[in-house]
Amino acid sequence: MNIGSCLPLIGKIETETLSVAIFQKGAEVIAENLDDVNKNIDSIIEWLNRLTVAMPGMDLVITPETSLQGSAFNTWKAAITLDGNEINRLKEVCKGLKLWLVVGAYVMVNDDEYVKNAAITINDQGEIVNVYYKTNPWIPMEPVSPGHEIQVFNGPKGSRIATIICSDGDYTEPWREAAYKGANIIIRISAYMTPYENAYEITNRAGAFFNHCYVVSANECGIDDGYCWFGKSMAVNFDGDIIAQAPLGIPYLMKVDLYPGICDAVQKQSLMGDLNWQSNHRAAASPDGKGIGWNKDMYSFLKSDNKVKGVK
């Protein structure tokens, strides 16, 4: 649960246990049409049924980025709609198995005008509770329209969840925005490829430590016409310690237990345990800080009128 924590945890903490299954896989079929998408959904449903037998009592299952189409070039042409039969199939199985599911998919929005890279969260009642659209598509290889908001929503067992997707996690801002809005668990679904194994681990661990949230990431595995997807899916605690990790390069299903109430306790303490508070109350321990500190924004790159050098 907690490896050598350096954070002050004062008093009695009560928390429910959130059991999460991380499903490291690749698409069964590189989708060119909706028939192919349904073949990938067949595989996901089969594994969800197996999961309930092998790991009874599971609360939440996470699949990698674009699990319904695969991450090869042009799979976005097989985009689904949120009210289509494909998602309805997953909604039905989540309700029947009493599971929450985060699934990655290319989604067509705005009357077939734009495709977005989405993380869709379905609850154990078969309802879509959140749709997050990737705010930082990978340039220049990902020709999709971006989303414009990091969202936080209530999940099972006291969790407050934000979802981000792959290259979102290469930037500090999505992580901090999620934590600022109250997330205690950040789910990062991804299709990270070789040679970025170290970057994937570093950014997951940094996102967890700098924001004192759990980070849970399901990464694709396998080889297609363009890339080798390396896997190494993981769960990281709020100290930045890896508490569970899948192997390199093979399909894998693993379980991890998380304790959202511990993150809540850490974030409520405006000492060394709450970096979000500290960043807005600099030098609160100094005599001139008077226990409050300085909250003026000193970072030029965060100012709205900032112009990036070389960009008009």
Catalytic machinery residues: 65, 134, 166
Spatial contact of 30 and 70, defined as CB atoms under 8 Å apart: yes
CA distance 40 to 86: 10
Spatial contact of 195 and 230, defined as CB atoms under 8 Å apart: no
Question: If we measure between CA atoms, which residue out of 196, 267, 217 comes closest to residue 238?
Answer: 267
Distances (CA, A) of 213 to 177, 229, 305, 309: 12, 26, 30, 33
Return the half-sphere exposure (C-beta side, CA atoms, 13 A cut-off) of residue 189.
33
Total residues found in the chain within this entry: 312
CA distance 298 to 103: 39
